[in-house]
Amino acid sequence: MIALAAYRDALSRIEAPPGLAALRRTHLRKFLQAGLPDRQHEDWRYTSLAHLEHMPLHAPLAPTPALLALEAYPGELRAWLDDRPVQQDVPPSAVLGALADVIGAGALPAFGSLAPDSALARLNAALWREGASLRVPAGERLARPVFLRFAAAAADAMLHPRVFVHLAEGAEAILVEHFLGDPGIAYWQNPVTEIALEAGARLTHLRLIEEGPLATHTGLTAVRQERDSRYQALNLTLGGRVTRHELGVTLAGPGAEARLDGVFIADARNSAEQHVRVVHQAPHGTSRTLYRGLADGRGRGVFDARAEVQPHADGSDARQSSRNLLLSPQAEIDVKPQLVIHADDIQCSHGATVGSLDEDALFYLRSRGIDTAGARQLLLEAFVEEALGLLDAAGLRGWLMPRLLASLPRARTVEVRP
C-alpha cells in the first residue's frame, strides 16, 4: 500500500520558506484524500502509477555523493542532485535565484496560481524543497541560455523540484530544463514549472527528459501568456521507464502566440506520455502544436492534446500535428488530438498519423547504396527533424543533437511482411 508515512515524513522535514507550512499541509491533506490518480481517471487511462505504491519512497536527506559527472552546458548552469543544489556557475542574483529565498522575501505573488489543481501538482506544492526562480526585468534579454539540471542519485528517492519563471514586459530568455538520473536505480521525479509571460515577453523553453531506465517522471509545465507574448517550447522525452509530461498553456492576452514542439521516444518497455492543453482565452491567439513520436521494442507512446477555444476568443487559430512511427510489432502508439470550441470566428485543425517507415523510401535509399541500417537511421532523423525547428534559433543544436541521435532506436533489419 501507498506509504502515506513517507509523504508525511517528507513534509515534516521541510522548513523553508517560512509562511508556506499551512498551505503545504492543506495540499498534502487533499492529495492524500484522493491518492495517486489511477486509470479510472480519463486523463490517466494510459498510465499506471501503481508501482509507486510499492516503492519505499523517501525524500533523500543529504545529497548523495555525485554519481553523475556534470557535463558542459553552453550557458548558465544551476544544478541539483536529489533536490539539493550542487553547483552554481553564478551566485544567486535577482534574475536567477533559489526559489525558497525569493518566496520567503514575498517577491512572487503569482507563485502557485498557475499550476492546476491536480493530484500530482498538489503533491509537488506540498513537498517541494528546492527550485529556481527566474525573473527577467522588463525589456531585458538574457544573453545566455539558463540551464536547470535536476538529477537523481538516491535509490527510491522522491523528488519534487519546482521552478517559477516570470518574464516582465518585453523580456526575453532561453530556458533549458534537464532531468536525468542514475541509470541503476528506481526513483520518482515530480517537477512543476510555472511560467508567467507578461505583454510582449518571449521565452524559448527546452525541456529534456533523460531519466534512467527504471525512473518515473511525472512533470508539469503551466504557462500563462499575456498580450502579444510568445512561448516557444521543445519537449524531448528520450528516457525513463514511465514518463509523463503535462503542458498547459493559457493564452490569456490577445495576440499571444504559442509554439509547442516535441519529440518522444518510447523503447524497451518504456511508456512516454505527452499531454498538451492549450486554452485560447483571448482573441487572436495562435497556437501550433507539432509532435513526433517513436515507439520501439515494447514501448508505448501516448500523445494527448487538447486545444480549447473559449467563448469570445474570436480570431483564434489553433493547429495540431502529431505523427508517429511504430517500429516494432510489440510497440503501441495512442493518440488523442482533441478540439473543444466555443466560438465561431476561429480556425482550428488537427492531423494525426500512426504508421511505420515508408518502405518505398527505404528501398530508394538502398538502391542508392545506403545499407538498411543507414537508410533507416536517415529516415528516423528526418522524421524527428521536423519538430526541431527551434534548435537553431536558440543555438542549442550542437548541444542537443548528439543526445537525441544516441537515443534514436538502434537500426535493425527491417521486418518484411510475408
Partner 1 sequence: MSNPDLQQQIEREYRWGFVTDIEQEPFPQGLDEAVIRRISAQKGEPAFLLEWRLKAYRHWLTLREPTWATVTHPPIDYQGIQYYAAPRSGNRPKSLAEVDPQLLATYEKLGIPLQEREALAGIAVDAVFDSVSVATTFKDKLETLGILFCSFSEAVREHPELVRQYLGSVVPYSDNYFACLNAAVFSDGSFVYVPKGVRCPMELSTYFRINASNTGQFERTLVIADVGASVSYLEGCTAPRRDENQLHAAVVELIALKDARIKYSTVQNWYPGDAEGQGGIYNFVTKRGDCRGERAHISWTQVETGSAITWKYPGCILRGDGSVGEFYSVALTHHRQQADTGSKMIHIGRDTRSTIVSKGISAGHGSNAYRGLVKVLAGAEGARNHTRCDSLLMGPDCAAHTYPYIEVKNPSARVEHEASASRIGEDQLFYLRSRGLGEEDAINLIVNGFCKEVFKELPMEFAVEAQKLLAVSLEGAVG
Distance CA(8)–CA(230), nearest Å, equals: 40
Nearer to partner 1, 56 or 355 (CB): 355
Nearer to partner 1, 86 or 352 (CB): 352
Nearer to partner 1, 203 or 384 (CB): 384
Binding mask 290-329 for partner 1 (x = CB under 8 A): ---------------------xx-x---------x-xxxx
Q: Count the neighbouring beta carbons within 10 Å of the beta carbon of residue 181.
A: 30
Minimal distance in Å, beta carbon 315 to partner 1?
11
Of 364-393, binders to partner 1 (CB under 8 A) are none
Binding mask 322-361 for partner 1 (x = CB under 8 A): --x-xxxxxxxxxxxxxxxxxxxxxxxxxxxxxxx-----
Of 389-418, binders to partner 1 (CB under 8 A) are 415, 417
Minimal distance in Å, beta carbon 358 to partner 1?
10
Minimal distance in Å, beta carbon 187 to partner 1?
29
Size of the site for partner 1 (CB under 8 A): 38
Minimal distance in Å, beta carbon 359 to partner 1?
10
Nearer to partner 1, 108 or 326 (CB): 326
Minimal distance in Å, beta carbon 310 to partner 1?
10
Distance CA(64)–CA(47), nearest Å, equals: 30
Planar angle of CA 406, 411, 416, nearest 5 degrees: 155
Nearer to partner 1, 95 or 352 (CB): 352
Of 95-124, binders to partner 1 (CB under 8 A) are none
Distance CA(364)–CA(348), nearest Å, equals: 36
Binding mask 1-40 for partner 1 (x = CB under 8 A): ----------------------------------------
Distance CA(78)–CA(106), nearest Å, equals: 22
Minimal distance in Å, beta carbon 350 to partner 1?
5
Q: Is 94 exposed, middle or buried (0-12, 13-18, 19+ CB in 10 A)?
A: exposed
Query: In which residue are the cell numbers 509523463 written?
Result: 244
| 297, three cell numbers | 521494442
Nearer to partner 1, 89 or 314 (CB): 314
Nearer to partner 1, 195 or 335 (CB): 335
Of 40-99, binders to partner 1 (CB under 8 A) are 42
Nearer to partner 1, 42 or 360 (CB): 42
Minimal distance in Å, beta carbon 357 to partner 1?
9
Minimal distance in Å, beta carbon 324 to partner 1?
8
Minimal distance in Å, beta carbon 404 to partner 1?
22
| 407, three cell numbers | 537515443
Nearer to partner 1, 8 or 342 (CB): 342
HSE of 284, CA atoms in CB hemisphere, 13 A: 8
| 342, three cell numbers | 466555443
Nearer to partner 1, 328 or 407 (CB): 328
Minimal distance in Å, beta carbon 332 to partner 1?
5
Q: In this structure, are residues 251 and 225 in contact, taking their beta carbons and an 8 Å threshold?
A: yes
Minimal distance in Å, beta carbon 218 to partner 1?
22
Nearer to partner 1, 101 or 415 (CB): 415
Nearest to 185 by CA among 150, 152, 160, 217: 152
Provide the binding-site residues for partner 1, judged by CB under 8 A: 42, 311-312, 314, 324, 326-356, 415, 417
